[in-house]
Amino acid sequence: MTAEAFAPAKINLTLHVTGRRADGYHLLDSLVVFAGVGDKITATPAAEMALHVTGPTAAGVPTDGCNLVMKAARLMPEIPAKIVLEKHLPTAAGIGGGSSDAAATVRVLSALGGTPPEPGAILSLGADVPVCHFQRPARMSGIGNVIDPAPPPPHAYLVLVNPGVAISTADVFAALQGQFGSAMQETLPNWPDTAAFADWLLTQRNDLESPARTIAPVIDDCLATLSEQPFCLLARMSGSGATCFGLFDKAEDAQATAAVLAASHPDWWVAAAPILAVPTA
């Protein structure tokens, strides 16, 4: 028996840093969606747990206990399996690749008969793993442990670009300066269309964008290039970077933009994908 799961890219459409706890963890308020591009996890029962990594962005991805896939698998030791991670997302990119892989690992081992870990154990894997386990549009708050369903976004499309620069989340938080910002409004609106969605997003923030840009100024180029594209309604960085996204109303516009950017910036990772409204298999 073999089980498979898609591990979609996690996109922080907003990311408000609202404070910091005494233990150093930052408090967040973020609107998170998932994109129709990602990695794939396959698991087959075996005598002992093992991880093999393939795919176009597999270079440098560890296969030992450092990988979140293995950390997730060790939460379910009663189901030893050979796990194959087919890697398509860039690493250390602000789109939750490792966290989504870990959540997908929990899903595949559960499908093989394993007992899903408790929420606290899932959170121990990382702040983004709970929302990746939820795998729906969500409002993520606290230190990533509070997950509430978000109003369904309109049927919109993203163009994701990463300049090939890995950024440490810890370094970005360390570079965060000034006062913490406000949270999003208490009740999120229902957006009738992509234009209204973009207009609302323009009133929100990613508080990690500025410190990330000081660490990796190439993010400026990504944002400027996306903003200049026809039909791009909004350009913003996701998470702690360096991946940026452009929001588009139509699939054909997003796909045409991705083709243009891939041709003009062959050293960038570029992908066009829909915003997913429901969990994927």
Q: What is the mean pLDDT of residues 121-136?
A: 96
Band the pLDDT of 178: cuts 50, 70, 90.
confident
Q: pLDDT tens, 78-119?
A: 999 999 999 999 999 999 999 999 999 999 999 999 999 999
- What domain count does the chain have? 2
CATH at residue 268: 3.30.70.890
pLDDT at 279: 75
**Three-state DSSP class for residue 17:** strand
Determine the average pLDDT of the residues in 143-169. 96
Average pLDDT of span 45-66: 97
Please state the rounded mean pLDDT for residues 258-278: 96
What is the average per-residue pLDDT within 69-75? 98
Do both 75 and 102 map to the same domain? yes
Distance, CA of 125 to CA of 55 (rounded, Å):
23
250 has catalytic annotation: no
Known catalytic residue at 10: yes
State whether 128 and 183 are in the same domain. no
Are residue 137 and residue 164 in the same domain, yes or no? no
Q: Which structural domain range is residue 115 located in?
A: 3-149
Residue 268, Ramachandran bin (φ over 0: left; ψ between -120 and 50: alpha; else beta):
beta
Question: Computed over its alpha carbons, how large is the radius of gyration of the chain?
Answer: 18
Domain co-membership, 198 together with 262: yes
Specify whether 255 is located in the same domain as 181.
yes
Pseudo-torsion of CA 27, 182, 238, 74, nearest 10°? 20
pLDDT at 277 over 90: no
**Bridging pattern class, strands 50-54 and 81-86:** parallel
* Given the residues 128, 207, 249, 253, the one annotated as active site: 128
What is the percent of the chain with per-residue pLDDT over 70, rounded to a whole number?
100
Say what the pTM is: 0.96
* Residue 179 confidence (pLDDT): 80
Task: Taking the CA atoms of 2, 100, 257 and 166 in sequence, report the sign of the dihedral they define.
Answer: negative
Count CB neighbours of 156 within 10 A.
22
Residue 134: predicted pLDDT? 96
- Chain-wide mean pLDDT for the chain? 96
Give SS3 for 42: strand
- Specify if 67 maps to a domain: yes
Instruction: Say which CATH number the domain at 141 has.
Output: 3.30.230.10
Instruction: List Cβ neighbours of 239 (8 Å cut-off, separation of 6 or more).
Output: 10, 11, 12, 15, 93, 94, 95, 96, 128, 169, 206, 208
- The yes-or-no verdict on residue 260 having pLDDT over 90 is yes
Is-contact 122 131, C-beta < 8 A?
Answer: no
Lowest average pLDDT, out of 13-27, 43-57, 167-181, goes to: 167-181
- pLDDT band of 281, cuts 50, 70, 90: low
197 within domain boundaries? yes
Residue 278 pLDDT level (bands cut at 50, 70, 90): confident
> CA-CA distance, 193 to 26, in Å (whole number)?
32
* 281 located within any domain: no
pLDDT at 175 over 90: yes
Peptide bond just before 242 cis, omega within 30 deg: yes
